[in-house]
Structure 1
Amino acid sequence: MPGQVSIHPALDGGVKAGQANFGGGTLVCACADRPVKVAIKGNIAHNHACGCTKCWKPKGAAFSVVAVTPHENVTVLENGDKLKIIDPDAMIRRHACKECGVHMYGPVERDHAFKGLDFIHPERFQESGWPEPTFAAFVSSIIESGTPPSAMAGVRGRLNELGVTPYDCLNPTLMDVIATWVAKKAGTLKEA
């Protein structure tokens, strides 16, 4: 539809179901010359559309598509010399190609419920079949990127049509993981 906000090129035409047993593959940046290649071993988890202002998004997209994988499943295969950390102080230390800007992987290294996980953009897999996004996080944050507040009802409606439930934080499962981690650290929860 004309005037409709582009959610993400991988989602705008409809969400394609992935394979439950996806075995991983190779993420490739957008460079034609000496692209950065990163191997991901095994399946990915918690794939979602993200509206935050930190994640890499394709040109014109309001959302990124992002998932996680254990850090030990991430290996830079080619042209790692082209990678730079976008913000060394951020919780997610996003490693991006210095030439094309695509974020290739982002480890969580500091003390956090997500420590040991790397955030990746599965649409950069050269292989197909990666698990589809199942929710949208930080939806209201797209206003910070320039989406007019008046468009938000339409954006949330479109996400629901796509089967990607919108949240203005993370989905309930991930919020429970974070709250459980915080409660255990504080000693208010002994067992989960």
Structure 2
Amino acid sequence: MSVRLLHPLIQNGLHKGDSNHAGGILACKCTDRPVKVKVSAGIAHNHACGCTKCWKPDGAAFSVVAVAPSESVSIVENGDKLAVVDPSALIQRHACKECGTHMYGPVERDHAFKGLSFIHPELFDNGNWPEPGFVAFVSSVIEGGVDPSEMDGIRAKLKDVGLDPYDCLSPALMDYLATWTAKKNGVLQ
């Protein structure tokens, strides 16, 4: 049984990137006046994501997404082409109005991820960014049109390429979110 395209950069195994990658320039897919965004810091929590909100290459079931400190993310060219996809969403995904590529998505409201911007490292002008470490929201690909009968094969393929599939975030990130909430609510100090 063949498995649909997970993502072009994870389908046949993970490239081994540099965990000390210091950022670079992200570019949208436009050939004329591409939007360029500078990330002047390293990225963290690089992962594949099956949610229906993240930008994915054509035909891919998953995106590849990471975070960087928002203060290290800046528009350097053609920012006039950007628009927020969904102003009510937690992640304010800024996408190119012409090609649809999501360039960055800051979290600005009160949340454990406030101060972080979500980016797609495959858009970097260099390919040495850290490889994804896990897959989040795997079941959500069904909401994006994947037949439920494909899920066993998709999870097996993800494990085969070296990615742990979760139907939420990784355990470490879920612990971080729960700790933030417990501190905010006064349960923990």
Q: CA deviation at 1:13?
A: 2.3
Alignment of 1:62-77 (within 5 A): 62-77=61-76
**Counterpart secondary structure, 2:66:** strand
Number of residue pairs the alignment of both structures matches: 189
Q: CA deviation at 1:4?
A: 1.6
What does residue 42 of structure 2 align with?
Answer: 43
Q: Deviations over 1:28-54 (max 9, x none)?
A: 000000000000012100000000000
Contact map agreement 2:3 2:157 (CA 8 A) in 1: no
**Counterpart secondary structure, 1:155:** helix
CA distance in structure 1 between the aligned counterparts of 2:161 and 2:90, rounded to whole angstroms: 30
What does residue 94 of structure 2 align with?
Answer: 95
CA distance in structure 2 between the aligned counterparts of 1:164 and 1:38, rounded to whole angstroms: 28
Residue 19 of structure 2 is aligned to residue 20 of structure 1: yes
Alignment of 1:23-172 (within 5 A): 23-172=22-171
CA distance in structure 2 between the aligned counterparts of 1:138 and 1:4, rounded to whole angstroms: 17
Over the residues paired in the alignment, what is the CA RMSD in angstroms? 0.8
**Counterpart secondary structure, 1:141:** helix
Q: CA deviation at 1:3?
A: 3.6
CA distance in structure 1 between the aligned counterparts of 2:51 and 2:20, rounded to whole angstroms: 28
Q: CA deviation at 1:104?
A: 0.1
Q: TM-score, normalised by structure 2?
A: 0.98
Q: CA deviation at 1:14?
A: 1.4
Unpaired segments ≥5 residues, structure 2: none
Runs of 4+ deviating beyond 3 Å: none
Q: CA deviation at 1:180?
A: 0.3
Contact map agreement 2:41 2:69 (CA 8 A) in 1: no
CA distance in structure 2 between the aligned counterparts of 1:83 and 1:9, rounded to whole angstroms: 25
Unpaired segments ≥5 residues, structure 1: none
CA distance in structure 1 between the aligned counterparts of 2:19 and 2:109, rounded to whole angstroms: 30
